[in-house]
Amino acid sequence: MSRPARYPPPFRASAVERVHRARSSHASTTATIKAVATELGINAATLRGWVRQAEIDAGQRDGMTTAERQELLRLRIEHAALRRALDKATSSKAQAARGPGGTAPQARLDQPALPVAAARVDQLSTRRARSRRRMDGSFSQDGTEGDDRVPG
């Protein structure tokens, strides 16, 4: 769980509003934020973050809105819960496949466990066999020991 907000939302909103009202009386936005933060007794960086987030929420600045952040957090929590449930189900399924003796059934040698993985292994071993490096630095395209370079 996240820690509770140190400053309540109404206080934040009034502080941001104060910054917007006081902008005309200061030379820059930074000076305005520093002045208002000093008046309120809060850190200027904290107030700057609130002002930026308010501008993002109002569409005045690019970034992720508060609603989007909350939705992202909700989706991350849901994703973590689903992943835990899948891990638990996968673990239970594997344990049930082992049977009461606790030993896994013997794999069938005539069928690869994962057809995609077996195809990838075949592809890699074929590629490796085609390009074997020789001791003299040349490559053999077919994996043979003969010299297949064109005499120059």
Q: List pLDDT tens digits, range 29-53.
A: 999 999 999 999 999 999 999 999 9
Cβ-based neighbours of 96, under 8 Å, separated by 6 or more: none
Give pLDDT, residue 116: 58
Q: What is the number of other CB atoms lying within 10 angstroms of the CB of residue 49?
A: 13
* pTM of the predicted model as reported, rounded to 2 decimal places: 0.54
In DSSP terms, which residues pair with 38 in a beta bridge? none
Q: Is 43 helix (H, G, I), strand (E, B) or coil?
A: coil
Cα 51 to Cα 12: distance, rounded to the nearest angstrom: 9
Beta strands in 20-94 (DSSP E): none
Q: How far is CA 14 from the centre of its chain?
A: 35
Domains and CATH numbers, the chain: 1-85 (1.10.10.10)
